[in-house]
Amino acid sequence: MQFSDLGLAAELLRAVEEQGYTQPTPIQEQAIPPILLGQDVMAGAQTGTGKTAAFTLPLLQRLLPQASNSVSPARHPVRALVLAPTRELAAQVWESVRTYAQHTMLRSTCVYGGVSIDPQMKELRAGVEVLVATPGRLLDLVQQRSANLSQVQILVLDEADRMLDMGFMPDLRRIIALLPAQRQNLMFSATFPDDIKKFADQVLKSPVRIQVAARNTVAELITHSAFKVDPLRKRELLANLVRSRDMRQVLVFTSTKLSANRLARQLERDGFNCTALHSDKTQGERMQALADFKDGKVTVLVATDIAARGLDIEHLPHVINYELPPNPEDYIHRIGRTGRAGMSGEAISLVSPDEQDLLQGIEKMLKMRIPMQPLPPDAFEAPARHASQATSRRPPARPREESLPRDELPPPEELPRREALPATMSAQAALFGGNAASTTSNAKRRSQQVAALFLPPVVAKQD
Ligand code: AMP
């Protein structure tokens, strides 16, 4: 099937063509026709399947008859509302909306928390037909009378399971109560636990049900493997894998912010261009980290699960679970960052003896064994500093004493955050030069002494 077979308007087909897409993905093939007919849709589709275009294209088409070039805000009421759980997902959806709407007169904007509300109020007051929002900030804007939802014709709940996980149910109910009863509802969710099914029953009217991947399955193009490793040697193994396999862009998941910070610091000392991404970072730091990763200035991005959802990282080839997620479903979301849109990807898990149960839980959910790889013979050899550091635009690493300021003391355990950061990513390979041996022993000894003052004993040993 071709995009042109789906009954889409010429201005939308033009935008699709300009993206270089010729064939719709399965979710697009199945969701676009019923959405164009005005039906409710409940779709089980994980990120990477092309689900954003699957709802954005028909949504825009349904609004086309009301598109206007009038300057009057009254002619541009919010007609379609897309709710997303995180800032970065909202920003990505909005980017798709802008891309596909570029040859139409439809206006759109995106609102999320963590940034100034004033420009968002201004944009909304000028009038937009498509509003992409995270729930909390949208309610703030409604309260301040900047967002009027009384003319919404289409509601999209994107990553509905995540919104419920993040505790947005009360906000969603409040928002839905503000919408006209007569409207089209589209719900997209990677998984369908019972609470989502119940919620869908309340919100959707006789929906067309679409499932493009069986529940809790992962993209077929991802290869999974695991290494059994002592927790104290994980960092060496990770460094070895990144170096020996010449990984140029790798997303590494840890389970806590503390662990992400620590690992990023250690890898940086090992000579990798590395940065950490988690919810204790400021909005600016997070955006910078993502932009650097996207531009190839950062080879290794160490992230907590905040980065596991929604990021569209084109062609990201490697995801490494440095620590397994406590919840097996998060494995799917983590590795969903790779193997997207028909590209192959690799998911590697470093499994310590006390994580065996977690691995089994993941295998049970995936209904497959994750092959255990033998450790590389040189797995634990001291990591050579990487030559890319020499050409990096990053400033040289600070002396170790400086790099453990008081404000980097172990932060409290990661709390669920309601919203993350906006970012869209397209991968560009980092220049990854050859190895250059270096002697870091003095600095290392000093850093161990300093680290021992701040960190729990096991961490000092690990170093
Ligand atoms: P999504 O699941 O919406 O996050 O989309 C994943 C990626 O697939 C995005 O980078 C899209 O730009 C891309 N994409 C969407 N539709 C198509 C298509 N029909 N053909 C190829 N790539 C697509």
CA 309, CA 159: separation in Å to the nearest integer? 9
Which atom of ligand 1 is nearest to 51's Cα? 3
User: What does the mean pLDDT of the chain come to?
Assistant: 79
| SS3 call for 377 | coil
Residue with the two structure tokens 């990120």: 47
Supply angle C-alpha 351, 332, 369, rounded to 5: 55
Alpha helices (H) in 204-338, listed in sequence order: 234-244, 257-269, 283-294, 328-335
Structure tokens at 442: 């003095």
383 pLDDT tier (thresholds 50, 70, 90)? low
Give every CB contact of residue 238 below 8 A, 6+ residues apart in sequence: 252, 263, 267, 320, 322, 350
Q: Residue 116 has what pLDDT?
A: 92
Q: Is the pLDDT of residue 281 over 90?
A: no
Query: Which domains, ranges and CATH numbers included, belong to the chain?
Result: 3-211 (3.40.50.300), 222-382 (3.40.50.300)
Ligand 1: residue of 52, 316, 425 to mutate (most ligand atoms within 8 A of CB) is 52
> Which residues approach ligand 1 with their CB closer than 6 A?
21, 23-25, 28, 47-53, 312, 314, 340-341
Helix 257-269 with 441-454: angle, nearest 10 deg: 160
Q: What is the pLDDT of residue 377?
A: 81
pTM for the full predicted model: 0.58
Higher pLDDT, 377 or 314: 377
Q: How confident is the model at residue 108 (pLDDT cuts 50, 70, 90)?
A: very high
Q: Whose CA is nearest to atom 14 of ligand 1?
A: 50
Distance 88 CA to ligand 1 centre (A): 16
- Top pLDDT among 290 and 347 is at 347
Give the best-scoring range by mean pLDDT among 96-100, 255-259, 294-298, 300-304.
96-100
Q: Which atom of ligand 1 is nearest to the CA of 49?
A: 2
Return the pLDDT at 418.
30
Mutating to test ligand 1, I would choose from 18, 25, 82, 313 the residue with most ligand atoms within 8 A of its C-beta, which is 25
- Contact between 404 and 451 under an 8 Å Cβ cutoff? The reply is yes
Ligand 1 midpoint to CA 316 (Å): 14
